[in-house]
Amino acid sequence: MVGFLIAAPVGPVGLLCIRRALADGRAAAFVAGLGAAVADTFYGAVAGLGLTLVSDFLMDYRTALSLVGAAFLFALGVRAWRTPICLSPTPQAHFGLLNDFGTTLILTMTNPATIIAFMAVFASVGAVRPSEDLAGAGLLIGGVFTGSALWWLTLSALAGAVRHKFSDRWLAVLSRVSAGLLIATGLAVVGTLAWQAV
């Protein structure tokens, strides 16, 4: 449940997965979602197992990580703006499943707010002590991945199911909207960091 609920809010990664589903089908969207699920699992393990050395490092460098994430979002938005989606994409329109996976993995890993969300949830349910309960630690990590992957499977299936209900013209509009939202999100992150620094 924790993995599912933390993955569920539709943010930049959700937009990317929906865009992949519309452009390349549900399989590409699901693989992209798995990149986010792996990153969620990493953050869930750090928060749930009390790996303070890693969490302290991530929090100490959260501004730099957020800037990297913002730049990545902006670049993705610009590329998406220049590459409109259509129902019959050319082979060049899709850069490969590995690229889809890696893009969402990096995007989620550069969002230290994810670890704060996991810490808050695990604080309310009690963290696992791996030295005392190895099976519980394994269930925690596996549960986060399974829950997160289930969300991305659901989202990619829903987006893929409505893919053929759109004409190329409407897909072009959706493409520009999603690209604009990615660019705006990247700029908003930079603006928030600048405001906090003042």
pLDDT at 91: 42
Distance CA(99)–CA(80), nearest Å, equals 14
171 Cα distance to chain centroid: 22
pLDDT at 90: 44
CA-nearest of 174, 182, 149 to 16 is 182
Provide DSSP, 27-69. Answer: HHHHHHHHHHHHHHHHHHHHHHTT-HHHHHHHHHTHHHHHHHH
pLDDT in 10s for each residue of the chain, 198 residues: 766 766 666 677 787 888 788 777 788 889 988 998 898 888 877 776 766 666 677 677 777 777 887 787 788 778 877 776 655 544 444 557 888 898 888 888 887 666 666 666 665 555 545 545 667 777 878 888 898 899 889 888 888 888 777 777 777 777 778 778 778 877 887 888 788 776
pLDDT at 93: 45
Do 186 and 51 meet the contact criterion of CB atoms below 8 Å apart?
no
Provide DSSP, 126-173. Answer: ----TTT-HHHHHHHHHHHHHHHHHHHHHHHHHHHHTGGGS-HHHHHH
Q: Which residue bears the tokens 């072009």?
A: 172
Alpha helical stretches, state H, 83-112: 97-109
**Between helices 12-24 and 168-197, what is the axis angle to 10°?**
160
Rounded to a whole number, what is the largest CA-CA distance in the chain? 58
